[in-house]
Each structure stands twice: as structure tokens, then as C-alpha cells.
């Protein structure tokens, strides 16, 4: 299939483009300002999800879209909710409009894989989290993702689109030579502290809070398998997670990976944060025939530390 990947210059986008190409598909990398790191021969198109005309031009001749573009910083979202709704919701609407126009032109229903986030669940008490767990977004970022999911779901009911939403927990590791660049996230930050480029790791609470981590290469494979599940008129939601680990587990893994200590400073716990957020991935394993292959904790850390390996 010929698949347009929005956000192809990003961390997950790089992994998705490489995975699609390796599996025999024809990825088309959509880039706005950044230059995507794509293998030789991959088509690059220029476009902006906030520009309807460029989106309509970008989807011409493709069989489907993997929509990755989104703003995702929670603190920023709290300060700029309108910006987050504009990029995340209006951007998704423009992608759907473009796919609808292409379907009208060709008579072929489109395919869409939409990447969402575990943040839509808020802080549910029951673990692991199933897709049937009610959404309870706690910030504008998560809320904008819920709104975008609803848009995608309703468009699929028209029969002109087959769509899948992947609720990704915490992507980590490296693929396509690119590691997670965001040192606001725990694994890159812990390794930066271990390497001496940052002085300390600040931890809210005692470090026993658990989050679910999944290798970005496993995320990319879930995206590819989801494309095959995009039957016209269908819509599915799947959790993508793999390895529950506490903050202290990550610190220990960073020390194993580097052979250096990670200085930790503890601050009071945030009462609004859940003690555990763990994915139930049984639906993805059963219906998409997906299972993580690279998400062991030490492999996640090794690949983040040495993305070229």
C-alpha cells in the first residue's frame, strides 16, 4: 500500500516510515518545516495539517494515512488550550476532509490509523486499563485527543473510511537511527543524568509509581498491522503498551546501561497522579495479531543510549 505518514520527521514518524518500507509498503513522508530522516527513495511531500489545500494535495494517490501530527506537552496545553485544539482537532479534521475528497474522486474508501494516547483515560483505579475503560481526560491535550478520536469514529460510520485508533502508552527506545529527543520524558532524562549532561533526576514521590513502556519499533509495527484492519466502515481502538516499570526500575536500568549512578532528588508526590497506569493489550494481541518484540526494559534503555546499534 502507498501510505502517507503525517509527522514523518518526528520520533514515532521516523520509526513508522522505516517499518512500512521494510515490510514492502510505499511510505510517503509528509513534512512541514523539519526535514525527515527517511531512507533513499522514499517520497517526501510538503504540507501542513492546518492547511486544507495542502492536505488534499498530499493524499492524492495514497491508499491510506497514518496520522501522527500532534502537540503533546501537558503543561503547554494547560496554558494554550486553543492552540492544542487547533492543531490536534482541526488538523485531524483536515486529514479526514482530504481523505473524503480523495474517496469521492477515486471511489475507493480510505484507511486511517490515528495515534492517540493513554492520557485519555485519566487516572483510572482499575488496572490494567482496558479499551472499554471510560475516558476521563485531565488536561486539554488529552481532551483534544478524545475529540479527535470521536471525529475519526463518526467518519468511519459513513462507510467511506476504515479507521483504527491506537492509544499509545509510553514510547521509548530508538528506530531508524532516531532515539526519543524529549528529555522531559523519564528514560531520556535518566540517561542524560547518568551520562553527566544533566545534574540530577527529580522524582515526585518515592519512585514506586508505575508506567507502561513500549519500544517505538513495536509501536511502528502496531501501526502497520492496524492498517490491515482498516476495513471500510469499521472502527477499532487498541491499547499499545508492553512493559510496566516503576521510576526506580528505570533508574536501575539506566545505571545498568551506563555503568554510572543516577543521582535522584525526591519531591512530594503529586496527589493527582495515578500510582500505576498499565495497558491491557489483549485486544491488540488478538485482533491485530500484535505482540511486543523489543520492549524489554534493558533493550529500551540500550537503544535509547545507542540509537545506531
Identify whether 128 is preceded by a cis peptide bond (ω within 30 of 0).
Answer: yes
Cell numbers describing residue 154: 463518526
The pLDDT mean for the chain works out to 94
The pTM (predicted TM-score) of the whole model is 0.95
Q: Please report whether residue 24 resides in a domain.
A: yes
Quote the radius of gyration of the chain (alpha carbons, Å): 19
Q: Please report whether residue 309 resides in a domain.
A: no
Q: Please report whether residue 149 resides in a domain.
A: yes
Q: Please report whether residue 131 resides in a domain.
A: yes
pLDDT digits (tens, 9 = 90+) for 44-68: 999 999 999 999 999 999 999 999 9
Report percent pLDDT > 90 for the chain.
86
pLDDT digits (tens, 9 = 90+) for 109-160: 999 999 999 999 999 989 999 999 999 999 999 999 999 999 999 999 999 9
pLDDT digits (tens, 9 = 90+) for 225-238: 999 999 999 999 99
Question: What does the buried/exposed string (b/e) look like for 210-238 if buried means 16 or more CB atoms within 10 Å of the residue's CB?
Answer: bbbbbbbbbbbbbbbbbbebbebeebbbb
Question: Cα 125 to the chain's mean position, in Å?
Answer: 23
For the chain, the domain total comes to: 1
235: domain CATH number?
3.40.50.720
Q: Please report whether residue 98 resides in a domain.
A: yes
CA distance 47 to 55: 6
Q: Please report whether residue 181 resides in a domain.
A: no
Structural domain for 126, as ranges? 2-174+214-241+278-293
CA distance 123 to 129: 10
Q: Please report whether residue 249 resides in a domain.
A: no
More reliable by pLDDT, 214 or 72? 214
Q: Which of 11, 85, 121, 141 is catalytic?
A: 141
Q: Please report whether residue 199 resides in a domain.
A: no
> Is 84 a known active-site residue?
no
pLDDT-derived band of residue 100, with 50, 70 and 90 as boundaries? Answer: very high
Amino acid at each position: 500500500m502507498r501510505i502517507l505518514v503525517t509527522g514523518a520527521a518526528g520520533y514515532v514518524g521516523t520509526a513508522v516510515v522505516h517499518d512500512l518500507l521494510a515490510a514492502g509498503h510505499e511510505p510517503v513522508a509528509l513534512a512541514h518545516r523539519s526535514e525527515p530522516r527517511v531512507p533513499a527513495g522514499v517520497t517526501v511531500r510538503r504540507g501542513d495539517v492546518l492547511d486544507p489545500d495542502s492536505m488534499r494535495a498530499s493524499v492524492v494517490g495514497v491508499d491510506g494515512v497514518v496520522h501522527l501530527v500532534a502537540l503533546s506537552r501537558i503543561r503547554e496545553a494547560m496554558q494554550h488550550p486553543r492552540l492544542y485544539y487547533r492543531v490536534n482537532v482541526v488538523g485531524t479534521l483536515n486529514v479526514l476532509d482530504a481523505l473524503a475528497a480523495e474517496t469521492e474522486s477515486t471511489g475507493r474508501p480510505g484507511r486511517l490509523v490515528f495515534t492517540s494516547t493513554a492520557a485519555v483515560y485519566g487516572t483510572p483505579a482499575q488496572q490494567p486499563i482496558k479499551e472499554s475503560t471510560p475516558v476521563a481526560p485531565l488536561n486539554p491535550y488529552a481532551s483534544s485527543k478524545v475529540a479527535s478520536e470521536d471525529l475519526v469514529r463518526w467518519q468511519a460510520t459513513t462507510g467511506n473510511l476504515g479507521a483504527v485508533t491506537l492509544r499509545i502508552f509510553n514510547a521509548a527506545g530508538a528506530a531508524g537511527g532516531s532515539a526519543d529527543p524529549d528529555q522531559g520524558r523519564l528514560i531520556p532524562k535518566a540517561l542524560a543524568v547518568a551520562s553527566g549532561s544533566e545534574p540530577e533526576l527529580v522524582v515526585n514521590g518515592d519512585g514506586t509509581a508505575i508506567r507502561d513502556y513500549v519500544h517505538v519499533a513495536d509501536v511502528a509495527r502496531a501501526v502497520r498491522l492496524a492498517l490491515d484492519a482498516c476495513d471500510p466502515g469499521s472502527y477499532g481502538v487498541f491499547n499499545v503498551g508492553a512493559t510496566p516499570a516503576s521510576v526506580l526500575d528505570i533508574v536501575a536500568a539506566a545505571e545498568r546501561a551506563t555503568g554510572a549512578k543516577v543521582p535522584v532528588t525526591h519531591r512530594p508526590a503529586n496527589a493527582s497522579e495515578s500510582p500505576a497506569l498499565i495497558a491491557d493489550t489483549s485486544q491488540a494481541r488478538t485482533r491485530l495479531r500484535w505482540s511486543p518484540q523489543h520492549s524489554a526494559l534493558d533493550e529500551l534503555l540500550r537503544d535509547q543510549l545507542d540509537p545506531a546499534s
